[in-house]
Amino acid sequence: MSEANGKKATLKLNGKEIELPIYSGTLGPDVIDVKDVLASGHFTFDPGFMATASCESKITYIDGNAGILLHRGYPIDQLATKTDYLETCYLLLNGELPTAEQKKEFDSQVRNHTMVHDQVSRFFNGFRRDAHPMAIMVGVVGALSAFYHNNLDLDDVNHREITAIRLIAKVPTLAAWSYKYTVGQPFIYPRNDLDYAENFLHMMFATPADRDYKVNPILAKAMDRIFTLHADHEQNASTSTVRLAGSTGANPYACISAGIAALWGPAHGGANEAVLKMLDEIGSVENVAPFMEKVKTKEVKLMGFGHRVYKNFDPRAKVMKETCDEVLGALGINDPQLELAMELERIALSDEYFIKRNLYPNVDFYSGIILKAIGIPTSMFTVIFALARTIGWITHWLEMQSTPHKIGRPRQLYTGEKQRNIDR
């Protein structure tokens, strides 16, 4: 736990003064420790956690005004262009980038855990074929809680570490199967001779009939970069959900399932699917202006725009846009939706409504267009976000489990009925 830095805030309440310690991190705003407010008979009030630091963490740092995102100190654009996803996973888990030897070992550890227990495949049959793949993911990842009984002692560091590896390795298998199930194709088993992104694309698109199916290296590279750009994002809604669930000592697989559920909403990870639906609805460039009017009258939101923390630009969106151009160029795709997206961006960036509210494209604005170019169906977009974010969730879970923590238990401002009696 960080030490108070000697500075104090003073809160005047009912004629009394309460001194509140202030802590400094390595970067970012100081935080005021408000615990002592409780003794005065008050709670603090911050719905939506606009100004609340819910924990201390060493994993990821965001400066929303400067558009900075660092994982263990390294900028996201460098990680996206100079490392692969598994190296970023290693960095998040261990705090340092791997040496060549460590990378080889980590890679092989992940490859050795890509299979799921055969019983797990039976859970899929309980779903309707038209189930949303995210609904399947919430169920089947949660179902992993019923396996691995021998490695679930949360006080045992080895158990915690093997859980992290299992999750990183198995979630792509379950993600690909959630797609295969909905299109009525047989599940394709993982191939450990392929790298992480290739293996995922193989499980998504290979079929028993197409024995020579080869993953296009351009698509595998783009997929890997999309995974890296989504790997972690400090205390966002789904990560906070994982931490809150984990604070009770719940099964880690169940905690990750809770994270997947929180991610699903269109205000969070569900936005990438919503962007493509929005572009489909707008249809063509001439419909952009009337659509923007609807946004300004708050009939609809411009999906893929705005962020709670980024108020200047989302550094992930910048790399995503470059990747989008690279992928479409390499594949020779001239997607009219890209033109549409650029027109939306152009208007939004020059319109007073968006400027005043600091609304910029976020990571989800361009990811959908790349995913579409890779051949990923829209309903799988958020599943891919969940797959990539699993490392972030489990790293935060590990950090919490390895440090003293209390159960997360917020209070409330009660505005319901006062006590009354049943009058009969």
Which of the residues 107, 307, 314, 396 is marked catalytic?
307
Of 170, 307, 321, 372, the residue at the interface with ligand CMC (CB under 6 A) is: 307
Q: Which helix (H) or strand (E) holds 256?
A: helix 252-263
User: What CA–CA distance (Å, rounded) separates 98 from 104?
Assistant: 9
Between 202 and 268, name the residue whose CB sits nearer to ligand CMC: 268
Identify whether 307 is a catalytic site residue: yes
Between 251 and 367, name the residue whose CB sits nearer to ligand CMC: 367
Instruction: Select from 220, 234, 224, 187 the least CA-distant residue to 63.
Output: 234
- Residue 295 C-beta: closest distance to ligand CMC, Å: 5
Instruction: Select from 68, 77, 393 the least CA-distant residue to 244.
Output: 393
Structure-token pair, residue 154? 């949360």
User: What CA–CA distance (Å, rounded) separates 239 from 233?
Assistant: 8
Asked if 133 is part of the footprint of ligand CMC (rule: CB under 6 A), the reply reads no
Of 176, 261, 295, 340, the residue at the interface with ligand CMC (CB under 6 A) is: 295
Phi-psi domain of 48 (left: phi exceeds 0; alpha: psi -120 through 50; beta: other):
left
Of 143, 242, 258, 359, the residue at the interface with ligand CMC (CB under 6 A) is: 359
- Residue 360 C-beta: closest distance to ligand CMC, Å: 10
- Residue 292 C-beta: closest distance to ligand CMC, Å: 10
Asked if 302 is part of the footprint of ligand CMC (rule: CB under 6 A), the reply reads yes
Structure-token pair, residue 10? 């003073």
Give the residue closest to ligand CMC by C-beta: 306
Distance between first and last Cα of the chain:
55
- Residue 408 C-beta: closest distance to ligand CMC, Å: 20
Asked if 392 is part of the footprint of ligand CMC (rule: CB under 6 A), the reply reads no
Structure-token pair, residue 38? 């409780």
Q: CB burial class (10 A; 0-12, 13-18, 19+) of residue 358?
A: middle
Of 67, 142, 259, 269, the residue at the interface with ligand CMC (CB under 6 A) is: 269
Instruction: Select from 229, 200, 212 the least CA-distant residue to 374.
Output: 200
Q: Which helix (H) or strand (E) holds 205?
A: helix 196-205
Identify whether 364 is a catalytic site residue: yes
Instruction: Return the range that interacts with ligand CMC (CB under 6 A); candidates 6-14, 70-78, 164-172, 295-303.
Output: 295-303
Angle between helices 133-143 and 252-263 (to 10 degrees): 170
Which of the residues 84, 232, 314, 364 is marked catalytic?
364
Between 298 and 420, name the residue whose CB sits nearer to ligand CMC: 298
Report CA-CA distances (Å) from 279 to 5, 251, 285, 365, 382: 50, 39, 10, 10, 16
Considering only residues 168 to 227 of the shown chain, the ones binding ligand CMC according to CB under 6 A are: none
Asked if 306 is part of the footprint of ligand CMC (rule: CB under 6 A), the reply reads yes
Between 116 and 363, name the residue whose CB sits nearer to ligand CMC: 363
Give the x-and-dash track for 247-266 against ligand CMC (CB under 6 A): -------------------x
3-state secondary structure of 18: strand
- Give the residues lining the site for ligand CMC (CB under 6 A): 233, 236, 266-269, 271, 295, 298, 301-308, 357, 359, 362-364
User: Which amino acids are annotated catalytic?
Assistant: 307, 364
